[in-house]
Amino acid sequence: MRPGNPTVHNATYSVINDPTKSGKVFIAWKMTNDNDGSETILYSHPYNTTYLPNTNVHLKAIWGTARNITIHGNGATEYYSGAADQTITVGIPDNPSDVPGQNMPLFFIYRNYPIDTIGSSPGSGTSYYREVGKNRDEPIYWNYPGKVLTGISNTNHSGCKLYLDPSQSDKMQMDYCGGYNLANGNEAYLIWEDMQYMPQFDLTHATVRE
């Protein structure tokens, strides 16, 4: 435990602060329940001790190495700062096996929703990242007039495509192209495509000629 952390839980409100270690990044606490040996990652930072079980537990600090990832807007600018790039510092666990499930940081966009082809919100998009040891996604908002965000990749080209969603006549669906892999470097590029509009026809007064 770091100085200032409680060593005894007495059922009153207190928090377990994040420890520090020279040259390392704190990822999360791994809690082992002495009763049944079960292990749980404590995602909250700092951790509220009122959520601890009513048994003896052991906490193990999971450490990692800091890594800077630069997300290039690739023509877009960050909504608040107007910057063309955003650099994110994340922690890479020294022992990924200490963190079951997601043991590497994730950088992604949500692409499983339709795009309104009549342009209700053109020229904007959101990329996300999720750090190891946390259970929430952090958004970064981008502006790019006339463009649609369709991917994030290690390169500045991914060949993303849009196609008509057969279930909704006025919507376009994004395919699952691109993707960013930490193993391929520290540079990530947002992929944008031209806003595509579907023509709309009013056939109310149409006539048929033989």
10-19, 68-77, 122-131, 139-148: segment of lowest average pLDDT: 10-19
Report the pLDDT averaged over residues 49-76: 91
Q: How far apart are CA 58 and CA 36, in angstroms?
A: 12
Query: Is-contact 186 67, C-beta < 8 A?
Result: yes
pLDDT of residue 61 exceeding 60: yes
pLDDT band at 177 (very low <50, low <70, confident <90, very high): low
pLDDT number for residue 112: 45
Tokens of 127: 């990329």
Q: How many CA atoms lie within 13 A of 179 on its CB side?
A: 5
pTM over 0.85: no
* Largest CA-CA distance found in the chain, in angstroms, rounded: 90
Report the pLDDT averaged over residues 27-50: 88
Higher pLDDT pick, 166 / 174: 166
pLDDT number for residue 83: 97
Model confidence over 92-116: pLDDT tens digits? Answer: 999 988 888 888 888 888 754 445 4
pLDDT number for residue 118: 42
